[in-house]
Amino acid sequence: MTPYFEKYFSELTRLFDTVTPDDLIAAAEVIDTASSAGRKTIVVGNGGSAGIASHVAVDLVKAAGRRAVAFHDPALITCYANDYGYGNWVAEAMNSYADPGDVAVLISSSGHSDNIVNGAKAASEIGLSTITLSGFEETNPLRSMGEVNLWVDSCVYNEVEITHQVWLLAIVDYLIEQDQSSKR
pLDDT in tens, 107-163: 999 999 999 999 999 999 999 999 999 999 999 999 999 999 999 999 999 999 999
Local structure of residue 43 (DSSP, 8 states): E
Q: If residue 41 lies in a helix (H) or strand (E), which one and from where to where? A: strand 41-44
- Provide the b/e sequence for 25-41 (b: ≥16 CB within 10 Å): ebbbbbbbebbeeebbb
The domain in which residue 107 lies consists of 3-183
- The total domain count for the chain is 1
Burial 102-128 (b: 16+ CB within 10 A, else e): bbbbbbbbbbebbbbbbbbebbbebeb
The CATH number of residue 42's host domain is 3.40.50.10490
pTM of the model: 0.96
**Choice between 181 and 25, residue whose per-residue pLDDT is larger:** 25
